[in-house]
A and B are shown apart, each in its own frame.
Chain A
Amino acid sequence: MNRISSIALSGRFIRVWQRNLTVYQKIWKVVFLPPLLEPLFYLLAFGVGLSMLVGTVQYEGTAVSYMAFIAPALIAINVMQNAFFETTYASFVRMYYQKTFDAMMATPLSLEEIMTGEIIWGATKSLMATIVMQAVISVFGLIQYPAGLLIIPVAFLGGMAFGSIGLFFTGTVRAIETFNLPIFLFVTPMFLFSGTFFPLDTLPAWAQAFAALFPLTHLVTLARALCIGTLSAGLLWNVAYLIVFTLVFFPLAIRKMHQRLVK
């Protein structure tokens, strides 16, 4: 009864988003380099180097070049990393070392708005990095348009999913070093086993079922279908999975941060 109203969410979260954008504008030149260079490195290493050995990959019954196979996965991984690292390490620094959220909570902003601003900012970073990366990959002719344009909203959705679970970990971990655990147990397995560098159907059935729980699996499936241009109604399931994942972890993240910050 004496609690500060439990859910206080309004459009004011945009103020928090704007704060992050203002900081970003000061350092954007450095931040833009990874999405620009990373696909080049990967395409060179895997696409040119490894495709000598691999040749083509069977995807949805047709043979695609190995470069065309991994290019969408690079986009999906980039979406995951941008949002996840933003709402883990970067949010943790703002929360714990810089006391940014403490300062905000002395203004008309609510905790819910601050956390929403953080997650949407993480998704925005995924979106911006995707646009840069997509431009680079398009130069290699590896993305079919206009379907490829849908990658942009999908990147934002993926960013919301990974940003939400990232902030959930930020509300949970004891110290910044503890992020090693979710990275080792969650991010690294996803990076390898989400149909990123080899088709999932080469795995045993139980492993495939397990991989279907990873949000990255669904993001990779979507990105690949949109890049190669093989759209089907089944993709709506992948979209639905990412939405549900977000709807679960978004409120959980806010709850954890509430427990952590409101004393």
Chain B
Amino acid sequence: MEYVIEAKELRKSFNGVVAVDGISFHVRAGECFGILGPNGAGKTSTIRMVYGFSPMSSGTLQVFGIPITEGWRAIRYRIGVCQQENTLDPDLTVAQNLEVFARYFDIPRKEARKRAAALLDFIALSHRKDARVPELSGGMVRRLVLARALINEPDLLILDEPTTGLDPQSRHQVWERLERLRAKGLSILLTTHYMDEASRLCDRLIIVDHGRILVEGSPADLIRRHVGEDVIEVVTPDEALRTFVQSEQLSHEDLGHRLIVYGRASDKLFRKVSHEFCHQGCTLRMATLEDVFLKLTGRELRE
């Protein structure tokens, strides 16, 4: 089977600092693949190599079976990229942003007009087609960036933190569009540090930190493997609970003011804990990707 992206031992260093340290992964056709990681983990550096923006320091990388170093131009004709920063053209109107971008892909003017109109409809911005970019809200800007990345009808969509900084309504607007695209069979490569976003959109994902892959799998699979099904959180745990958890050899994390117990079908355990050790409050909830992420990448601040 041919992969849309096949990366082997990707490495990238800038001025002696290693940003990507031997990452290998592949993306199948029609799949949404996520790269998760804290700030500075190497997510953006990785995808910049995939679309031929940054040269690799070493490794091999094929997109659509074409090596990026030789076929970068042929590859770029077939991909759409939403960069993290707003790179829309503030000198142009909303519709012109799409039409001018279409020229970069040698799309004839008439066809570009047609596609631009359809895409503006898709992102619900037809009524603002003559507005200038600085007049748009953050959510509109993101949707327009997405529309612009689709102007060449790509086979692969690359999204670098597509919803960072958006309000909940706008995030759902973007997600809903991405789900429609995925349903049509578009392959998607996405970076994010929002776990709900990854759980909702990604078929498979990798969690990276310090330029290396920590784990790979589907969201549900990763949760089951690394956390379990449920999580019990106890606020201000006492020594009795700590002793209990240790003696029972329960998988847990002690944050001082909060104790987190990872488990499987923990109803009985929860009843015991809440009955015997719970003073300030304790909750039983389903395990999430966020638990996996924090367990693997730690809880220190990344800046």
Contacts and interface: CB of A to CB of B under 8 A. Distances in A.
Contact of A108 (B69, B100, B104): B104
The dominant DSSP class at the A interface is: loop
Given A3-B69, A8-B73, A263-B54, A98 B103 contact: no
Interface string A93-113: 000001110111111111000
B53 A105 contact: yes
Nearest to A109: B104
A2 B89 contact: no
Interface string A1-25: 1111100100010010011001100
Given A5-B72, A15-B104, A107-B105, 15 more contacts: A1-B69, A4-B69, A19-B100, A22-B96, A98-B89, A99-B85, A99-B86, A99-B87, A103-B88, A105-B53, A106-B76, A106-B81, A108-B76, A110-B73, A262-B54
Interface in B157-199: none
Interface in A22-51: 22-23, 26
Contacts of B81: 106
Contacts of A100: 87, 89
B52 interface: yes
Nearest 4 CB-CB pairings of A with B = A103-B87, A106-B81, A107-B104, A99-B87
Contacts of B276: none
B69 A2 contact: yes
A90 to B, nearest CB: 10
A15 B99 CA distance: 12
A23 B73 contact: no
A98 B86 CA distance: 8
Interface of A: 1-5, 8, 12, 15, 18-19, 22-23, 26, 98-100, 102-110, 262-263
Contacts, number: 79
Given A103-B87, A106-B81, A108-B73, A22 B54 contact: no
Nearest to A24: B91
Contact of B103 (A5, A15, A26, A99): A15
12 contacts: A4-B55, A23-B89, A23-B92, A98-B91, A100-B89, A102-B53, A102-B85, A105-B53, A106-B76, A108-B106, A109-B104, A262-B54
A22 B76 contact: no
B91 A106 contact: no
A26 B89 CA distance: 14
Given A8-B73, A103-B83, A103-B87, A108 B105 contact: yes
Nearest to B91: A23
B83 A102 contact: yes
